[in-house]
């Protein structure tokens, strides 16, 4: 196949490909893919040079720089590597050499076009470098290396980290009225080199209609840290941005019984809900020590869960029953009984499930538990993986952008508009 281009009088470019259809359909498709890649490299080489200077002096960081002439350099594109001669500059007093074309064209990691960086980093958020390498070659006729994939994705992740508190993201336009926003947080574990499994925090901010339908969710996650200062600051920022746009809706906190969840959620929300299914786990455990036959135990558990969910004073009635059961036991009462009584005493105000459901509030933190699996575990806990802390943070930032509908595209619009 022969590929040629012609610059038209109006500045447009015509690229032609000569193709003789021979061989099997699969063979012809592979030939076409190779030819299209060649056309892509040719077009990209022409396009990228439009961002170069004409050789006149430029000002970089308030310092005049002059051209040292053109130097050739290779750049990675979605279609393969291209070689470009572009002006390089240096100040009269010496110092680092800069290529203005790279900044103007939004070159990432000093060697990759933005589209290629976008493509590779998205794939890397979904699968290992080895699988990205294979995917690019098999499905895009694009050979590359694992090191390039990792370094380029790390550069995108670092950019996301640098701009995390600077770039804002628009919410989608909802077809239904948002009546309440649910803020939730939970932890999962990530394998860290030399440290074993450590807690990774995930947070969600979900938008609901009056019918209780979830309209949209913002996903956030932070790498393991001692304390939760970084995670809290990220979630604080997201909550502030949401409240600026929805100042009058009801804000609901939903989590399991961990004390630090409530100390965080209470200032941000007017209603706090204990995850219903965590509460039923306690009931399941306590049913095993009540001395009932298996049939009676299952009947009691089913009735208790039903009452907790649907009766106005379900939690109070169950607590009263547990205390009565405890009074009839001696000092050798199972520890789980006292633990469950304390759990229900501490959380009664957050267990008004019948009322919550009438108002369309969710009573289970499944969205956040799913976030732990989808945002963190699905990528970080693949077979044999071990991570250092910093790459975990970069990956989780990119996962949050990729998993929150609309944010990945907005991130790259920020890159395109604002540069690096």
pLDDT at 221 (0 to 100): 97
What is the mean predicted confidence (pLDDT) over 128-144? 97
Share of the chain above pLDDT 90, in %: 90
Structure tokens at 331: 């000092």
Nearest-CA neighbor of 218 among 187, 188, 239, 193? 239
pLDDT at 292 (0 to 100): 84
Share of the chain above pLDDT 70, in %: 99
pLDDT at 20 (0 to 100): 84
Residue 1 banded pLDDT, cuts 50, 70, 90: low
Q: Quick one: DSSP state of residue 248?
A: S
Cβ-based burial of 204 (10 A; exposed 0-12, middle 13-18, buried ≥19): buried
Residue 401 banded pLDDT, cuts 50, 70, 90: very high
pLDDT at 359 (0 to 100): 93
Count the helices and strands in the chain (H runs, E runs). Answer: 16, 11
Residue 3 banded pLDDT, cuts 50, 70, 90: confident
Give dist(CA 353, CA 32) in Å, integer: 60
DSSP state string for 132-166: HHHHHHHHH-----HHHHHHHHHHHHHHHHHTTTT
What is the mean predicted confidence (pLDDT) over 142-161? 97
Backbone φ/ψ region at 159: left (φ over 0), alpha (ψ -120 to 50), beta: alpha
pLDDT at 271 (0 to 100): 98
Q: What are all long-range contacts of 373-381, with beta carbons under 8 Å and residues at least 24 apart?
A: 373/188, 374/219, 374/403, 375/202, 375/219, 375/221, 375/399, 375/400, 375/403, 376/188, 376/190, 376/200, 376/202, 376/221, 377/188, 379/125, 379/126, 379/127, 380/190, 380/191, 380/200, 381/189, 381/190, 381/191
Q: Quick one: DSSP state of residue 171?
A: P
SS3 of residue 12 by DSSP? coil
| Per-domain boundaries in the chain | 1-89, 178-387
Listed range (19-28, 41-50, 233-242) with the worst mean pLDDT:
19-28
pLDDT tens, position by position, 63-103:
999 999 999 999 999 999 999 999 999 999 999 999 999 99
185 neighbors 235 (Cβ within 8 angstroms): yes
Mean pLDDT of the chain: 95
Backbone angles phi, psi at 65, to 5 degrees: -120, 145
Q: Which of 13-17, 18-22, 311-315 has the highest mean pLDDT?
A: 311-315
Structure tokens at 220: 């956030």
pLDDT at 64 (0 to 100): 97
β-bridge partners, 108:
112
SS3 of residue 37 by DSSP? helix
Going by their DSSP bridges, the two strands 13-18 and 2-7 should be labelled as antiparallel
What is the mean predicted confidence (pLDDT) over 247-262? 94
pLDDT tens, position by position, 265-318:
999 999 999 999 999 999 999 999 887 899 999 999 999 999 999 999 999 999
6 neighbors 14 (Cβ within 8 angstroms): yes
Backbone angles phi, psi at 7, to 5 degrees: -85, 120
């Amino acid at each position: 196949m022969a590929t040629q281009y012609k610059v038209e009088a109006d500045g447009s470019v015509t690229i032609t490909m000569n193709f003789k259809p021979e061989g099997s359909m699969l063979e012809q498709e592979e030939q076409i893919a190779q030819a299209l890649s060649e056309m892509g490299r040719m077009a990209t080489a022409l396009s990228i040079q439009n961002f170069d200077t004409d050789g006149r002096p430029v000002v970089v960081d308030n310092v005049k720089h002059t051209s040292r002439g053109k130097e050739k350099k290779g750049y990675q594109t979605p279609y393969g590597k291209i070689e470009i001669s572009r002006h390089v500059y240096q100040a009269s007093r010496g110092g680092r050499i800069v290529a203005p074309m790279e900044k103007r064209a939004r070159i990432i990691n000093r060697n990759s076009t933005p589209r290629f960086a976008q493509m590779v980093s998205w794939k890397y958020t979904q699968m290992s470098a080895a699988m990205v390498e294979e995917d690019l070659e098999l499905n895009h006729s694009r050979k590359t290396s694992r090191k390039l994939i990792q370094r380029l994705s790390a550069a995108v992740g670092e950019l996301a980290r640098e701009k995390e508190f600077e770039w804002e993201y628009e919410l989608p336009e909802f077809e239904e009225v948002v009546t309440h926003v649910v803020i939730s947080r939970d932890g999962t574990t990530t394998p860290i080199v030399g440290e074993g499994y450590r807690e990774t925090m995930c947070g969600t901010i979900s938008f609901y209609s009056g019918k209780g339908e979830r309209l949209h969710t913002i996903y956030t996650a932070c790498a393991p840290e001692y304390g939760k200062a970084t995670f809290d600051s990220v979630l604080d920022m997201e909550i502030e941005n949401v409240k600026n746009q929805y100042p009058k809706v009801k804000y609901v906190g939903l989590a399991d019984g961990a004390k630090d969840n409530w100390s965080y959620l209470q200032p941000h929300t007017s209603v706090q809900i204990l995850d219903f299914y965590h509460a039923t786990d306690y009931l399941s455990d306590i049913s095993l020590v009540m001395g009932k036959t298996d049939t009676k135990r299952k009947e009691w558990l089913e009735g208790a869960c039903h009452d907790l969910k649907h009766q106005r004073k379900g939690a109070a009635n169950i607590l009263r029953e547990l205390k009565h059961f405890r009074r009839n036991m001696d000092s050798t009462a199972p520890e789980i009984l006292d633990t469950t009584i304390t759990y229900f005493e501490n959380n009664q105000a957050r267990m008004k499930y019948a009322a919550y459901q009438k108002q369309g509030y969710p009573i289970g933190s499944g969205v956040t538990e799913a976030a732990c699996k989808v945002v963190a575990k699905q990528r970080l806990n693949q077979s044999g993986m071990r991570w250092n802390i910093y790459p975990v943070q970069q990956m989780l930032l990119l996962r949050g952008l990729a998993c929150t509908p609309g944010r990945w595209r907005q991130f790259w619009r920020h890159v395109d508009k604002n540069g690096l």
